[in-house]
Structure 1
Amino acid sequence: MNEVPRAFEGEQSVSEPNIYVSLTYDALDATTAMARVKNPKAGAVVLFAGCTRDSFASRPVTHLSYSTYPPLALRSLLSIAKAVHYEYELVGIAITHRLGRVDIGDESVLIAVAAPHRKAGWRAGEECLERVKARVEIWKEEWFEDGGVWRSNRDGQAGVPVVEGGGSDAGGAE
């Protein structure tokens, strides 16, 4: 029910030296994300794991579902990763976003950064997450027992009810 068709199998990724971004329908692996950025020059590796919570605005959530046009999302993820890598003088950065159904407690995004010092690592990880949520063309459906809502990937933004056939209710925001 409410499954997004898979556009590909496995993982689609783009990388440059010390920068890795990817999309997958598979469960995310924190150990793999951290291994992608570890480096002898790094005194800190910071990992952010965004998980599906069980409620939104006091309503029980059953699951989330993410969709995208992979070439566009990968291009945006790479642009963000390159900018954050440069601005925070990182040793490495990796961003992986999950697509399709993401159940309660499962991760939808992993951001790993490696920096010479922890302060830059903490700040870079948070800044990267904010940019991903604000700019990357990944669309989220939040599902409740009584139906779904298309929601901005930004926290707390109003949603538009999902109607059968994959569209939205033209009646407006929730």
Structure 2
Amino acid sequence: MKVEALAIADVKLITPARFGDPRGFFSETWNQGRFAEAGVAGPFIQDNHAVSTTAGVLRGLHCQIGPNAQGKLVRCVKGAIYDVAVDARHGSPNFGRYVGAEISAENWMQIWVPAGFLHAYCTLTAETEVIYKVTGAYDKAAERGVIWNDPDIGIDWPVAADSVILSDKDKILPRLRDLPALFHV
């Protein structure tokens, strides 16, 4: 397993080893002990699976606050995404900064987005499937979000703004500066 810290070191890219033979391959995509050594301890309590039928689907920027704040271990099992984590921890030297990476079925990378970060991804291909583990239970009352194109954050999305496909909910999210503190360091 290869572990790489991104420019915000709490966010990590993890590439599990793949062991192939003429039948295909085997990969251990989660191992509690190995991931804990890499700084991804969990515990994970829920797995989510999302399918997006077209390129340009953007889901986020989302988080949950309070006791059900979620860390997410995200992987793409079909297609490709551009995945983003925004530091939403007031008091952090990286507050309001983002890191992003292409995650795909081909590169087999996973991204660890700890609690305290906003998370989003944009599909780069049609028929994309994303599976992610979360450390907190879904809690509608704890949901928070920030608009995907917040100019203060300045995410360099790899798709044209006029081709982004958003949910109705994601179209009307506020800017980060218009929210009360979501998390504290």
> Comparing both chains, which one has the higher relative contact order based on Cα–Cα distances under 8 Å and sequence gaps of 6 or more?
2
Task: Calculate the TM-score normalised by the size of structure 1.
Answer: 0.32
Task: Calculate the TM-score normalised by the size of structure 2.
Answer: 0.31
